[in-house]
Chains A and B, each alone.
Chain A
Amino acid sequence: MTRTAAFTREQLRAPFTLVLLVIVPVIFVVASAGVLGDFARAQGGSLAADAASSLAAGWAAAFVAGTLGFFAASSSRGADRRLALAGLGPARVAASRISASMLLALIAAAAAFGTLLARTGVAHPWHAAAAVLAYAVIYLAVGVLVGSLVSSPLEGSLAVAFVFLLDVFSGPGMAAQAAPYSISRKAADVLIAAGSGNASDAADWVKLAVISSACVAAAFVAFVLAARSRS
């Protein structure tokens, strides 16, 4: 049994995880996409219906990955540190945690993307899949960072939800003027383009890759700091 497999199994054994993976994508993509578009127009935004569906898949992946990332970081901190002190060291424990978390982010993204594909067609499916995965990775990092600072499940999950909501309503197409920066801005741009039948240019992909990589690195560092010895 590898450490990554153990930590992945640990997360998947929570019934709540399976509910999140199934229910949230359905709610976001099937039930909320239309509402998202109406809300954007009410705020003066210009989100088209197909773009709203694609974005909803991104938000679904983000919400699930952020929640799972938070609980991965907050609930296992003590046991992870004990394992690191036993001889594995914080880097190896963190590597296993980030690998397991990335696997869960991949599952969340696949569930969201699968729901999107089943619900509507996507002109550029691979672009959309990559952007949905980027959403999941970015919010995984948000969840892990919050989880490494806040141990209370209520306060931590509220903090993740707060970041999520701010990001949703400041995203492109949601208002007459988009906020100058949001953490998922580049992922949203690529996803909207894919949903609208447009390909994104190389610069957008590079930026998306840099942002996603930085998020993975930040989450890794958070796991290392949580597992390290204090002596």
Chain B
Amino acid sequence: MSPTSAATLAPSDPAVEASAVLRVIDVHKAFRTGVPLRRRRVQILRGASLTVSSGEFVGLVGENGSGKSTLMQIIVGLLGRDSGTVQRPDRLGYCPQYPLLWDKLTVKEHFELFAEAYGLAGKDAADSRDGLLEELQFATYVDYRVEQLSGGTRQKLNLALALLHEPQLLLLDEPYSGFDWETYLRFWEMAERRRRDGMAILVVSHLLAERDRLGRVYELRDGRCELV
């Protein structure tokens, strides 16, 4: 089966505002593993589908190895899919499970690079950056290189880069690993504030205990998403 191209939804289309911001339809993905000539195919996703609407906080849960991060990476575009469709908005923010950062660059330099990528300039970029440094309480480290940061602080930067441009759709892959308890609580407050402002949020978690904080929850089981 050949993959269907990922379409982007025009944020100005009125119909979009009232409907799903993210649509994942029947996505299949397999990996080949093993030595050449003896490779075997491991099917991870077998028709995974989900939607996330504006102002929703949707969870994606599942056991270790169920394919949650794989699905997230397919949604973002880091991984290709074997078949299926992903419809997502132009303006999205992605916080990967493991920080994708440059070890030798400082926190400030990361913000500058991503501000440019998001099309933020001058005061807008500085205000957004300063706001996030304040919210996540890591302003002290703005001139530190990533290699000098603790795991939790790296994760704060990882998350802040996804929020810098106030995206329409926020994709979070276990974003609070390494957070202390206070920062963990602050994360949920931040996320709830943005949800109320209309941001669509999909969070991958392997902890069912957080379900009370979420609207709808999909469980990824046997390669498919089921509403639980």
A87, CB-defined interface residue at 8 Å: yes
- Give the residues from 85 to 119 in chain A that come closer than 8 angstroms, CB to CB, to chain B: 85-88
New A-B contacts (18) at CB < 8 Å, excluding given A82-B100, A83-B117, A230-B78: A1-B109, A1-B112, A13-B104, A14-B104, A75-B103, A79-B101, A79-B102, A81-B78, A82-B78, A82-B94, A85-B76, A85-B77, A85-B78, A87-B118, A87-B119, A88-B116, A229-B78, A231-B6
A207, CB-defined interface residue at 8 Å: no
Q: Could you mark each residue 46-80 of chain B with 1 if its beta carbon is under 8 Å from any beta carbon of chain A, else 0?
A: 00000000000000000000000000001011111
> B86 touching A6 by the CB < 8 A rule?
no
Say yes or no: A79-B100 contact (C-beta < 8 A), given A6-B109, A9-B105, A231-B74: yes
5 contacts between A and B (CB under 8 A): A6-B109, A10-B105, A87-B119, A229-B78, A231-B74
The 10 closest A-B pairs by CB, nearest first: A86-B117, A230-B80, A229-B77, A231-B77, A13-B104, A78-B100, A88-B117, A231-B6, A82-B100, A10-B104
With a 10 A CB-CB cut-off, give which of A9, A13, A84, A231 has the most chain B CB atoms: A231
Q: Could you mark each residue 91-108 of chain B with 1 if its beta carbon is under 8 Å from any beta carbon of chain A, else 0?
A: 000101000111111000
B79 touches which of A9, A76, A230 (Cβ 8 Å): A230
Q: Which residues of A contact B74 (CB under 8 A)?
A: 231
Q: Give Cα A88–Cα B114 distance, bound, in whole angstroms.
A: 9
Number of A-B contacts (CB under 8 A): 62
Q: Which residues of B contact A11 (CB under 8 A)?
A: 104
A14 — nearest CB in chain B belongs to which residue?
B104
> B102 touching A76 by the CB < 8 A rule?
yes
B81, CB-defined interface residue at 8 Å: yes
A27 to chain B, nearest CB (A): 25
Q: Could you mark each residue 210-231 of chain A with 1 if its beta carbon is under 8 Å from any beta carbon of chain B, else 0?
A: 0000000000000000000111
A85 touches which of B3, B94, B101, B105 (Cβ 8 Å): B94
B185, CB-defined interface residue at 8 Å: no
With a 10 A CB-CB cut-off, give which of B5, B100, B145 has the most chain A CB atoms: B100
> B116 touching A231 by the CB < 8 A rule?
no
